[in-house]
Amino acid sequence: MERRLGETPVRDDRSAYASRGVGPDYDDMLHMSLLELKQEGRYRVFQEHRRIVGEFPLSVAVTAEGERVVTVWCSNDYLGMGQHPAVRAAMHDAVDGYGAGAGGTRNISGNHSPIIALESELAALHGKEAALVFGCGYLANLSTLAALGRLLPNCILISDQLNHASMIQGISASRAEKRVFQHNDVLHLEEILRSIPKHRCKVVAFESVYSMDGDIAPIREIVDLCERYGAMTYLDEVHAVGMYGPTGGGVAERDGLADRIHLVQGTLAKAFGVVGGYVAGSAVMIDAIRSHANGFIFTSALPPAVAAGALASIRHLRASDAEREKMHANVRKLRTRLREERIPFLDAASHIVPVMVGDAARCKAVCDLLFERHSIYVQPINYPTVPYGSERLRITASPVHTDRMIDDLATALADVWRDLQLPFARGTV
C-beta of residue 141 within 8 angstroms of C-beta of residue 296? no
The crossing angle, in degrees rounded to 10, of helices 403-419 and 322-341 is 30
Specify the DSSP element, H or E, that contains 317.
Answer: helix 304-319
232-236, strands of its sheet edge to edge: 130-134, 277-281, 263-267, 232-236, 202-207, 156-160, 177-181
Give the active site residue among 38, 270, 326, 364.
270
Pairing of β 232-236 and β 202-207: parallel
Residue 80 and residue 377: Cα distance in Å, rounded? 16
What number of residues does the chain have? 429
Which distant-in-sequence residues (6+ apart) come within 8 Å of 270 by Cβ? 76, 77, 78, 238, 239, 241, 242
227: number of Cβ within 10 Å: 11
Task: Write the CA distances from 398 to 46, 129, 236, 351, 368, integer angstroms.
Answer: 22, 32, 22, 9, 22
Known catalytic residue: 270? yes
User: For 214, which DSSP code?
Assistant: -
29: number of Cβ within 10 Å: 10
354: number of Cβ within 10 Å: 23
- Print the SS3 string covering 28-42: HHHHHHHHHHHHHCC
SS3 338: helix
Residue 135 and residue 282: Cα distance in Å, rounded? 21
Residue type, 271: A
Residue 132 and residue 290: Cα distance in Å, rounded? 7
**Residues with catalytic function:** 270
